Chains A and B, each alone.
Chain A
Amino acid sequence: MKTTLTVFLKEVKENLRDRRTIMSALIFGPLIGPLLFVMIMNVVLTRELNKADQPIKVPVIGAQYAPNMIAALKQQGLVPQRAMADPETAVRDRTAEVVLRIPKDFDKSWHKGESAQVELIYDSSQSDTGGSVDRLKRMLEGYSRHQGAMRLVARGLSPTMMVPVSVDDRDQSTPQSRAGQLFAIMPYFFILTIFMGGMYLAIDLTAGERERQSLEPLFANPVPRWKILLGKLGAIYVFSLASLLICVTAFGVCGTFIPAERLGMLIDLGPAFAGQVLLIMVPLVMLLAALQTLVAAFAKSYREAQTYLSILMLVPALPSVMLSAMPVKVANWMYDVPLLGQQVGITQLLRGESLTMMEIAQCIVSGLVVALLATLVTAWVYRSERLAISA
């Protein structure tokens, strides 16, 4: 116990003196997620909100053939722009998001009572045009429906004739669950933070010591290697826990800066959320520390360890990517799988649903079991003769 404590205190002290570790574990690692998140969210939300309210500028070709329709669209917020010679090219090279073309015979078809055709020219592969295209389409459909109803009324028929089935939306999502969907990437930020928080330490304490050739004198001391390993793991735990704590706190603060409620969403990253996240993440701290040390133990140099660990970093991303690519129904067994359990659990919390004690216990127990296994394997690798020999 005393040995482990000695190693632990020395590693913490030594790494607190290393600017690179501090920057990565306690500043960049935990803060980059929340900052990036707030920035992206603000840009996305502000743009969506602005687009919904603001007039929409659309170049119109042949406006003179349908003056009534254009007047009606103008009332809905359309601002017709001057026509261009080649709308197809204009759309492709993004000088216009969408162009409305009214053919010469629009008026003729209109008066005959036939469907008068208009064309929307746009490029759906340009992601940010979707909003404008949809809005213009809705305006045109609204106008079309309205005119159709007028024609029916003029002939003495009820407009409901044209609507045999009417659809009414009953969306069961809550403001919180809508927000949860938007924030599905957040669990990965937390896991990444733990990873980043411990990474430089894990490298430094095993591969780094080996490269600097200090493992050999260290192991010449009359203490079992597993006690040394535990002290080192302890130091990694502390750094990645600190990193996680900073990250969770930063998200709590940043959450108040996201104008989610203006989109009818609610996001609660307060103390209750933070507490439960910390609780279910603790086993991951231990698991990742052991895994990182294990991987670093196979590397001969700092640089090599860094390469291996950046590959390992992709592993925790898998559940995130999987869950966002194919949203599966949350099943109980998922809480028994470390990483996936935490992912699912945090997603549930973001949706405003609470976790049962059982689910929290599942996350913790399964995480601890796997962490213990990883630690045992690492301790076994630590016993190898090869580990201490650097040259």
Chain B
Amino acid sequence: MIEVRDLHKHFGNVKAVDGVSFIAHDGEITGLLGPNGAGKTTTLRMLYTLMRPDQGQVLVDTIDVARDAEAVRRRLGVLPDARGLYKRLTARENIEYFARLQGMDEARIRARRDQLIAALDMADIANRRTEGFSQGQRVKTAIARALVHDPNNVILDEPTNGLDVMATRSMRRFMRQLKEEGRCVLFSSHIMQEVAALCDRIVVIAHGRVVADESPEALRAQTGEANLEDAFVKIIGSEEGLAA
């Protein structure tokens, strides 16, 4: 479970995140929806302890990020906006490197690695160097790397960004699987269909603030729009930065 209480973060004069609160429950997929530049990535970065909030609190499985960042990171699987693979290492070596940094023993590393390679259907690329990977292959590798330590909470920053239809579908399938395994899945997106198709709960962020925190049905009911995209536009109050 990830609990966010009144997060603030500014860069110079820009208030990137200006009082964001929400809860992402276990066994649910929570979507962080917002136009580009709304503060989604900055919020997520504070969750996975890369940035320190100016104000506010983040609890992961009731552990305070400010108190024990390392314990929090152990409970998180993170796919950052920047995938950042090591291109001179193979996909398998990329996964193993992070597994070792997670402090896993070799037997468990082997088991988890093979399990993820099978689950993400990447056996054909596992022994290739990641240089020259397609966007989809890169995301798969990065996800396997992020989940190798079997974390209870999964944070995915724009996981389907740049993926084709087939890859997007298999990504969605994979996220549902994570949910069925009882994990807390939190992902950000600016694409309506995706959020509508996947989420149990939608947190809409605009200008650094939470403007809605509902189930998809409730969101539609609240705005009186049958179409989620129209509902979204209505909530954030403009079409700026919107991409479908």
Interface residues of A (CB under 8 A from B): 2-3, 6-7, 10, 13-15, 17-18, 209, 212-224, 385, 388-391
Tell yes or no: B76 within 8 A of A by CB: yes
Stretch from B26-34, B47-55, B208-216 forming part of the interface with A: B47-55
> Which residues in A have their C-beta under 8 angstroms from that of B45?
389
**A13 to B89 Cα, complex, angstroms:** 8
Most buried by B among A14, A209, A217: A217
> Which residues in B have their C-beta under 8 angstroms from that of A212?
84, 87
Using A217-B98, A391-B81 as known contacts, list a sample of 19 further A-B pairs with CB atoms less than 8 Å apart, ordered by residue number in A.
A2-B100, A3-B103, A6-B100, A10-B93, A10-B97, A17-B88, A18-B88, A214-B85, A214-B86, A217-B142, A220-B76, A220-B146, A221-B98, A221-B102, A222-B71, A222-B74, A223-B103, A385-B51, A389-B50
> Which residues in A have their C-beta under 8 angstroms from that of B76?
220
> Which residues in B have their C-beta under 8 angstroms from that of A218?
84, 101
B70, A216: Cβ atoms under 8 Å? no
**A223 to B142 Cα, complex, angstroms:** 18
Distance in Å from the Cβ of A282 to the closest Cβ of chain B? 28
Tell yes or no: B145 within 8 A of A by CB: yes
**A385 to B87 Cα, complex, angstroms:** 24
Distance in Å from the Cβ of B71 to the closest Cβ of chain A? 7
- Assess A213 versus B83: contact at CB under 8 Å? Given A14-B88, A18-B88, A222-B73: yes
> Which residues in B have their C-beta under 8 angstroms from that of A18?
88
Tell yes or no: B166 within 8 A of A by CB: no
- Assess A223 versus B86: contact at CB under 8 Å? Given A217-B145, A385-B51: no
**A224 to B111 Cα, complex, angstroms:** 26
Distance in Å from the Cβ of A11 to the closest Cβ of chain B? 10
**A18 to B86 Cα, complex, angstroms:** 12
CB-based closest 5 A-B pairs = A214-B84, A213-B82, A222-B73, A213-B84, A221-B101
SS class, residues of chain A in contact with chain B: helix
Tell yes or no: B117 within 8 A of A by CB: no
> Which residues in A have their C-beta under 8 angstroms from that of B87?
212
Tell yes or no: B2 within 8 A of A by CB: no
> Which residues in A have their C-beta under 8 angstroms from that of B146?
217, 220
> Which residues in A have their C-beta under 8 angstroms from that of B97?
6, 10
> Which residues in A have their C-beta under 8 angstroms from that of B86?
10, 14, 214
Distance in Å from the Cβ of A229 to the closest Cβ of chain B? 13
Distance in Å from the Cβ of B157 to the closest Cβ of chain A? 10
Tell yes or no: B56 within 8 A of A by CB: no
24 A-B residue pairs with CB within 8 Å: A2-B103, A3-B103, A7-B101, A10-B89, A10-B93, A14-B88, A14-B89, A214-B82, A214-B85, A215-B84, A216-B81, A217-B82, A217-B84, A217-B146, A221-B73, A221-B98, A222-B70, A222-B73, A222-B74, A222-B102, A222-B103, A224-B70, A388-B50, A391-B82
> Which residues in A have their C-beta under 8 angstroms from that of B88?
14-15, 17-18
> Which residues in B have their C-beta under 8 angstroms from that of A390?
82
Tell yes or no: B78 within 8 A of A by CB: yes
